[in-house]
Amino acid sequence: MSDWIAIGAMGVVAVGLPLVMMAMSAMLRPSVPEQGKSATYESGEVPTGTARVQFNIQYYMVALLFVVFDIETVLIFPWTVIYRSALEQGASLGTILTPMLVFIGVLVVGLVWAWRNGAVKWVKSPQANRRKTERQDA
C-alpha cells in the first residue's frame, strides 16, 4: 500500500507544483496594459489584412501520415532488438513474427486507404494549374 501512497504523492507534486508556480507568477508579475502588447507582431512590420489564412488540408494529411509512420518505426525498433534473444530462448518463429506482421499489415491497409482517398496526392492550386496551361499554350 505504501507504493501507491508514493505514486499518489508524486502525482500531487507533479500537478500541484506547476499550478503553484503559475499562480505565483500571476500574482507577482507587473501588469502594465498597453495597446501595443495586444497587437499582432509581424517582425516589426505593420500587420495588414487578416491573420486567418486557410491552409491546404494536404499539409495536415502529410503531417498525420508522417506521425503514424514515425510511430511505426518507434514501435518496430524494440521488437527488432528482442527478436534474436527470443529465438535463442526457444520461442517459435510464428509466435514472434505474427504480431509484428499483423501490425505492419494494419499500417499497409491504412496507407492503401489513404492513397486511394487521395491523402498522399498533392492538390495543386488553381493558380498553379493556370500557369501550367499558359506555359503549354505558349
Q: How far is CA 133 from the centre of its chain?
A: 37
More confident position, 21 or 129: 21
| Residue 107 falls inside a structural domain | yes
| Residue 44 falls inside a structural domain | no
Taking 90 as the threshold, does the pLDDT of residue 15 lie above it?
yes
| Alpha-helix residue ranges (DSSP H) falling in 29-125 | 57-88, 93-116
Least confident of 4-8, 32-36, 84-88: 32-36
pLDDT the model gives residue 125: 64
**Amino acid occupying residue 117:** N
| Residue 1 falls inside a structural domain | no
| Residue 111 falls inside a structural domain | yes
| Residue 38 falls inside a structural domain | no
| Residue 30 falls inside a structural domain | no
Number of H helices, E strands in the chain: 4, 0
Does residue 107 contact residue 72 with C-beta atoms inside 8 Å?
A: yes
Does residue 96 contact residue 85 with C-beta atoms inside 8 Å?
A: no
How far apart are alpha carbons 97 and 103 in whole angstroms?
A: 10
Q: How many CB atoms lie within 10 A of CB 111?
A: 15
| Residue 5 falls inside a structural domain | no
Structural domain boundaries enclosing 133: 57-138
The total of structural domains in the chain comes to 1
**Amino acid occupying residue 94:** G
| Residue 48 falls inside a structural domain | no
**pLDDT digits 0-9 by tens, 65-113:** 888 888 888 888 888 888 888 888 888 888 888 988 999 999 899 888 8
Q: What is the largest CA-CA distance in the chain?
A: 81
pLDDT the model gives residue 1: 63
Q: Tell me, what CATH number does 131's domain have?
A: 1.20.58
Does residue 47 contact residue 39 with C-beta atoms inside 8 Å?
A: yes
Q: pTM (2 decimals)?
A: 0.49
How far apart are alpha carbons 106 and 69 in whole angstroms?
A: 12
